[in-house]
Structure 1
């Protein structure tokens, strides 16, 4: 019985982890598989054909490589820029959310904060030990959970008031968020090669783009109906998704520290 660790690109949510683990366990000879958002690694136990495992993982749209591969200097710069873009627009969208009175914008800002933190962790992970990454991730998981709970609390409070947000600010901020995510995807794409890696980049940005589109759609529905309900329901959905991701990060961080 052997244990092998692989670096997997494109992991940014709990559903990605479940899909990767299921794909690995479908390979003959694999007895256990565990993916981690903290380390970006897939740990596989058993006696199996490595080529078959790589094929199963790439079929899910993720890139996979041994964790010993050294990243290019250009990749470090690109990842740092992605962190700045995500955290920067997270601040912009948070401000827009308060100005517009939009809970969906505040929840989508949580998306950017979360992506910035996860990308920042990936940047730190290029030189830090697994234990150090796990400690940082533990704090990040708590931060994401607190932000998610805050958005949920504000959203539930707004159900009583039901004041429609400013749909113009909401729509423009949502469109800007989509543009930033597309820029990040383009930056990542320049430092990837091969079809599997390209699919992994788009998989990484898929949930973000869907959240952005949901905000733009909600803004349109607010304008059409004059109701705050589309904004509030979108906020609940996005905040719930990232509360779940925060829980996954905390679980993985605690497991890595044991």
Structure 2
């Protein structure tokens, strides 16, 4: 019996549903985290919000790439990696600016918002688990969310230290670490996307 393509269509439909939910949740938390980071003067929260915004972008790219050719998917992952790299460098720049000009991060905003973000990201990570061994553009979304979970925990710990020590430096440190982690994840995505492009017969290494 010939293959009607039903299994492939069902898989694509499932991927679209997962990515759509993840996109909505991350875009919402990026706005919430950005507002909280601005009000609470926290580089950690701003970095975390920027990270979640990049996730939402990755999910949007993943949605567009579903059902497309392998080369298109590899290029989508490459675009996600470049966007994340620029975002990570931007976070590091903002941390440096705040170290120079000063800031007074609010531990309450840091801890409360980071806990909410952690709950959301754990739920999204669980949804994305089936995609962590998928094609490059889909695996990129799982990597993004994994980075978010680590960042959320870091911001919570930094908030506790800000409260305990009465110093803004734990917030500066976590902002720097998140920025560096984002850059690391971007490099990993770019490497995998380059390999995927090569395997798909795209631009050779």
Establish whether TM, by shorter chain, passes 0.5: yes
Shift of 1:254: 4.5
Cα distance in 2 between the residues matched to 1:105 and 1:212: 9
| 8 A Cα contact 2:12 2:66, kept in partner | no
Structure 2 unaligned blocks of 5 or more: 1-6, 134-138
Cα distance in 1 between the residues matched to 2:125 and 2:146: 10
Cα distance in 2 between the residues matched to 1:186 and 1:141: 22
Q: Which has the higher helix share?
A: 2
Change (3 A) 1:209 1:249: closer
For the pair shown, which has the larger CA radius of gyration, 1 or 2?
A: 1
Cα distance in 2 between the residues matched to 1:74 and 1:132: 20
Q: Which has the higher strand share?
A: 1
Residue in 2 aligned with 1:86? 26
CA deviation vs aligned residue, 1:53-77 (integer Å, no higher than 9, x gap): xxxxxxxxxxxxxxxx731634421
Cα distance in 1 between the residues matched to 2:193 and 2:15: 25
Question: Is 2:52 the counterpart of 1:108?
Answer: no
Shift of 1:237: 0.7
Residue in 2 aligned with 1:229? 169
Cα distance in 2 between the residues matched to 1:72 and 1:145: 28
Paired residue total: 181
Cα distance in 2 between the residues matched to 1:186 and 1:248: 21
Change (3 A) 1:73 1:142: closer
Change (3 A) 1:228 1:91: same
Tell me whether 119-128 or 87-96 shows the greater mean CA deviation: 119-128
Structure 1 unaligned blocks of 5 or more: 1-68
Cα distance in 2 between the residues matched to 1:140 and 1:95: 24
* Residue 242 (structure 1) aligned to one of 182, 185, 201: 182
* Residue 147 (structure 1) aligned to one of 87, 91, 97: 87
Which secondary structure state, in structure 2, belongs to the residue aligned with residue 163 of structure 1?
coil
Cα distance in 1 between the residues matched to 2:33 and 2:53: 10
Superposition RMSD on alpha carbons, in Å?
2.8
Residue in 1 aligned with 2:136? none
Q: Which has the higher relative contact order, 1 or 2, with Cα contacts under 8 A spaced 6 or more apart?
A: 2
Residue in 2 aligned with 1:184? 124
TM-score between both structures, scaled by the size of structure 1: 0.61
TM-score between both structures, scaled by the size of structure 2: 0.75
- Displaced runs of 4 or more, over 6 A: none
Residue in 1 aligned with 2:152? 212
How do residues 59-74 of structure 1 correspond to structure 2 at under 5 angstroms? 70=8, 71=11, 73-74=13-14
